[in-house]
Amino acid sequence: MKENIQEIGFFDIVKERRSVRIFDQETPFDHQSVQKCLEAAILAPNSSNMQLWEFYRIPETSALKNPISRLCMNQKAATTARELVVVVTRRDKWKSRAAANLSYIRETYKNSPGKKQKQAEAYYGNLVPKLYSKYPLWSITKQVIAWVMSLKRPMVREVTESDVRVSVHKSAALAAMTFMYAMKAEGYDTCPMEGFDSVRVKKLLNLPKDSEINMIIGCGKGLPEGVYGKRFRLPNEEVIFKV
């Protein structure tokens, strides 16, 4: 019975979440909820647990709120947001994040080193550097190696630099989604945005060249007129297949 109650709660949140473009300016907004929901978001699954993401909170009181809203092409979802969250990918941080995983694993298994530790050492010490290192022609070399290996057995094909980039964005987007559901559970609304000037946003946030903006999320209490129409989705049969 308890399971049922939890299930209803989750599905209500999924159904009720909408991208809301106009946020209420009057009622108090609890900025602590953003912090709480981001702390939930980082529990999202992410590739190799490398957590190659960062989240920049820009509350309405921040000196950056208006400039960033402008860089979101002045979308109302940004200008009326009580807080903006910029989701950033940090592919460039792979070395320190792999090292953090390695030292966690060493600490965990320090009294009982064995197969698991060896596997993790090989994963973060060998495989991850192979995938994430950047050298001239490395992308094409990896692709050829993967292709040769695939002749004998199933092989992961997504090994190029652009594949790594996609992978890092996938993980960031999953965290962003977790954040938006958590905000809905807190009684707040959100709007994910990809309509922004990424070059200028990066400059404003002082982000390095190799980082990327995954999305910017407007947060607040949505107004009814902020929901632009009834929700439309394709018929289930067009997108869900049982094979």
Ligand X SMILES: Cc1cc2nc3c(=O)[nH]c(=O)nc-3n(C[C@H](O)[C@H](O)[C@H](O)COP(=O)(O)O)c2cc1C
| Contact stretch for ligand X (CB under 6 A) within 58-66, 95-103, 116-124, 187-195 | 187-195
Least gap, CB of 160 to ligand X (angstroms):
22
What residues contact residue 225 under an 8 Å CB cut-off, 6+ apart?
A: 22
What residues contact residue 40 under an 8 Å CB cut-off, 6+ apart?
A: 178, 179, 182
Q: Using the rule CB under 6 A, which residue among 38, 175, 192, 202 binds ligand X?
A: 192
Q: What is the CB neighbour count within 10 angstroms for residue 231?
A: 9
230 lies in the binding site for ligand X (CB under 6 A):
no
Q: What are phi and psi of 218, to 5 degrees?
A: -80, 140
Distance CA 51, CA 143 (A): 25
Helix (H) or strand (E) holding 106: helix 94-108
Return the number of the residue (155 or 225) whose C-beta is nearest ligand X. 225
Distance CA 162, CA 91 (A): 11
Q: Using the rule CB under 6 A, which residue among 1, 231, 235, 241 binds ligand X?
A: 231
| Contact stretch for ligand X (CB under 6 A) within 31-39, 143-151, 188-196, 203-211 | 188-196
Least gap, CB of 177 to ligand X (angstroms):
8
Distance CA 219, CA 79 (A): 10
**By CB under 6 A, what part of segment 71-130 binds ligand X?**
75, 77
207 lies in the binding site for ligand X (CB under 6 A):
no
Least gap, CB of 165 to ligand X (angstroms):
15
Which single residue brings its beta carbon nearest to ligand X? Answer: 195
Measure the N-to-C terminal CA separation of the chain; round to a whole number of Å. 32
Return the number of the residue (75 or 97) whose C-beta is nearest ligand X. 75
211 lies in the binding site for ligand X (CB under 6 A):
no
**Using CB under 6 A as the criterion, which residues of the chain lie in contact with ligand X when the complex forms?**
18-19, 21, 75, 77, 191-195, 215, 231
